[in-house]
Amino acid sequence: MSKAMRYQQHLYNGTRDELVEAVHQQLRDKRFNHCLRVEQTAIQLAEENGVDLEKASIAGLVHDYAKERSDEAFIGMIKKHQMDPDLLNWGNAIWHGIVGAEFIHDELGIEDEDILNAVRFHTTGAVEMSPLAQIVYMADYIEPERDFDGVDEARRITHKDLRAGVAFQTKHTMLYLAEKNAPIYPATLLTFNRWVAQKQMKYNY
Ligand code: GDP
Ligand code: FE
Ligand code: FE
């Protein structure tokens, strides 16, 4: 069942239909439809976890808002906002969340930091993730048309225990990246150490 809610908190200056239209204008149908599914999955996870449904709707809808921008547009934004110059060593996969949040802020007028952080962290995770950020991270991974080995286990774990879902995705993404010798973004490593690794880095002798 799909949910179209009435926005009441002025987190976005318009209706849900207007936000859907603004997202559709930026994305091909395939990715736009993924955003609608991530929204619905995020709303469901928000209901299960006592998280604000309107924030889940907005964050799910906009999480990939900037994904089809050119590299030049991202580089311009990194410079405009004086973001970490190391970002220039990466590409669209990393930029569309962390830098994409600035497009959402500047163009859609969304200022809520919890929503913006959920977008920033949706690809790599982060050491500190709010329940909303955990939900968007997981909704992106388990939305109904995701199809990869382990997705059903990911869905089952996530609906049982959101934080366990975060750990599952983080571990499997790390394994996937390592297996194809892909560079691992530092935030991804830090997410692994916080959410997956056993804590034995203290002077416990
Ligand atoms: P999507 O935007 O809905 O396709 O999903 P994501 O935003 O979660 O992921 C975008 C891409 O980034 C995926 O192909 C991930 O495997 C990739 N990705 C995630 N973390 C890292 C990382 O640390 N390094 C690299 N190189 N790619 C990553
Ligand atoms: Fe994404
Ligand atoms: Fe996505």
Percent of the chain with pLDDT over 70: 97
Q: How many CA atoms lie within 13 A of 133 on its CB side?
A: 22
Q: What is the pLDDT of residue 3?
A: 74
Nearest atom of ligand 1 to the alpha carbon of 90? 26
The CA 94 to ligand 1 mean position distance, Å, reads 7
What digits encode the pLDDT tens for the residues 43-75?
A: 999 999 999 999 999 999 999 999 999 999 999
Query: Are the C-beta atoms of residues 129 and 169 closer than 8 Å to each other?
Result: no
Domain ranges of the chain: 16-196
What digits encode the pLDDT tens for the residues 146-175?
A: 999 999 999 999 999 999 999 999 999 999
| Residue 203 in this model has a pLDDT that exceeds 80 | no
Burial class (CB in 10 A: 0-12, 13-18, 19+), 97: buried
Mean pLDDT (the chain, rounded): 96
Q: Look at ligand 1, atom 9, and give the residue with the nearest C-alpha.
A: 123
| Residue 1 in this model has a pLDDT that exceeds 60 | no
Q: Look at ligand 1, atom 26, and give the residue with the nearest C-alpha.
A: 183
Higher pLDDT, 85 or 4: 85
Q: Quick one: CATH architecture of 16-196?
A: Orthogonal Bundle (1.10)
The CA 108 to ligand 1 mean position distance, Å, reads 24
Q: Closest Cα partner for 53 from 102, 96, 16, 103?
A: 16
Structural tokens at position 199: 């804590």
Average pLDDT over residues 182-187: 98
State the helix-helix crossing angle for 131-142 and 162-179, rounded to 10 degrees: 50
